[in-house]
A and B are shown apart, each in its own frame.
Chain A
């Protein structure tokens, strides 16, 4: 671990963490822009989410009479946990110390911590909406977790480690391989990412009808800077999953060393990959409609099946003489 303790590596890791926080609103703005263009509108500027966050941060926060101290603490915990989780995913460079702090399983654990507090915050005020959002969110996440872990296992069985830097490295250094297991794990992870980040067809991030909300219902009582932190955390989560999928399955371009030139190339590469993924997500959201809640299990079972097939392909087709 000695080579990780250099200040340069830690400095770059800090920069990467700040970049995650900065790219979140940009990605969401880009997705909304593409959707607007597909729907024949001009749409708001790509920088609009930044303005929204700034507006919220400057507004007064209102808290209900029945809220407990947990209601006020939850946004900070959610934001902190999601940000820390994002910081461990390689964004521009592979070999950073933050990747060794938490592997994929710890990443899932940190996101689960954020979700736990989010759900508790939803139940805190004592209205029906929060309870409904919390109940639905826990159902979706409970079904998504085995699919995610099965996809992770498929990756880990080939790379022999759950450390993200090792997995990315393995994919980069191996000869270009068309593995069926990776193909299925990719499909499974995409479906899980859609469910976990609350996008159509699982949840509609732009809805205003309480009965169709999952994520929004838990945020209904929040305002001002608390709401800004929660929204920001959701945006960071989207970049997290995007960077995870882009860098694990299409790692070409990521910096293998800490030279500024390599890092610059890595930055350009990841921005291009995220823009492509964002556009693809926008197309999918325009083409598909939101499913009813009780069809989400079928969706997540498909994700689990894909990941399971990935694992089986690895075991059956991964030749061991």
Chain B
């Protein structure tokens, strides 16, 4: 099935999926904290967009609800919570550049090619064009994990975790046309509760070690004598 034979809607779907991949990269490389939150919001909106298009193309009405939920939660509510949190923690203007940006981006590109290669053996006919979206969602998950490894700031680590969850959701939507509604709602509320807990933890961490740099948490090892 070549490109031209597909309907316009399916082409639009692939464009949205490619933009999700781009948003994963931009989330990885963003230096400013506030811009990273915005990038995450865009990623959520794009994932909701993909869900909607699959709902329209596949005539699956329950996906409309998933899309609305994702939009409300991932693109609006959670970024708003994070934004408020950041303002209360006085981190509005926090800038933290990536360590060795060129190497990190090259690693991310390698992860994309690797996830493509991994997904290749899935040969089910009906999944042909959504199979490639599964490759992208796996890449988004791996890039989210890479982000948690390479970044030091705690809030950005949370964003990495959230973007992993975005990737998993995208995989579920494209491979199996959505999860059962009950599971969906459960996951959504879990994510919300996790956000609230994270917020509390941020204040706790900052009070005890006076910074939100997760590398400083290694002070908690037993072997260290006194301080630094």
Direct contact of A and B (CB under 8 A): yes
Chain B residues contacting A305 (CB-CB under 8 Å) are 25, 105
Residues of chain B within 8 A (CB-CB) of A179 are 3, 11, 14-15
- Shortest CB-to-CB span from B67 to chain A, Å, is 20
A209 within 8 A of B: no
Q: Give Cα A305 to B101, complex, Å.
A: 12
Contact assessment for B105 and A301 in the assembled complex, using a CB-CB cutoff below 8 Å: yes
Q: Which A-chain residue is minimally distant from B21 (CB atoms)?
A: A309
With contact pairs A180-B18, A183-B18, A309-B18 given, residues A316 and B135 touching in the complex (Cβ less than 8 Å):
yes
How many chain A residues sit at the interface, stated as a range, is 20 to 34
How many residues of chain B are within 8 Å of chain A by beta carbon? Answer: 29
Q: Judge whether B4 and A177 touch: CB under 8 Å.
A: yes
Partner of B22, one of A178, A309, A315, A318: A309
- Interface core residue of B3, B11, B19, B101 (most chain A CB under 10 Å): B3
Q: Which residues of A contact B102 (CB under 8 A)?
A: 301
B116 within 8 Å of A (CB atoms): yes
Closest to A311 in B: B109
Q: Is A174 an interface residue (CB 8 A)?
A: yes
Q: Which residue of A lies closest to B11 (CB)?
A: A178
Interface of chain A: mostly helix, strand, loop or mixed? helix
Please provide the chain B residues from 8 to 23 with a CB less than 8 Å away from any CB of chain A in the complex. 8, 11-12, 14-15, 17-19, 21-22
Tell me, in angstroms, the Cα distance from A31 to B136 when the chains sit together: 40
- The answer for the CA separation of A312 and B6 in the assembled complex, in Å, is 19
Which of the listed residues A174, A180, A306 has the most CB atoms from chain B within 10 Å of its own CB? A180
Q: Please name the 9 residue pairs, one residue from A and one from B, whose CB atoms are nearest each other, closest first.
A: A180-B18, A313-B18, A178-B11, A180-B15, A317-B14, A317-B132, A175-B4, A316-B116, A178-B15
Measuring CB to CB, which residues of chain B are less than 8 angstroms from any residue of chain A?
Answer: 1-4, 6, 8, 11-12, 14-15, 17-19, 21-22, 25, 101-102, 105, 109, 112-113, 116, 128-129, 132-133, 135-136
26 contacts between A and B (CB under 8 A): A174-B4, A176-B8, A177-B3, A177-B11, A178-B8, A178-B12, A180-B15, A180-B17, A184-B22, A301-B101, A301-B102, A305-B25, A306-B22, A309-B18, A312-B116, A313-B14, A313-B18, A315-B116, A316-B112, A316-B116, A316-B132, A316-B135, A318-B3, A319-B2, A319-B3, A321-B128
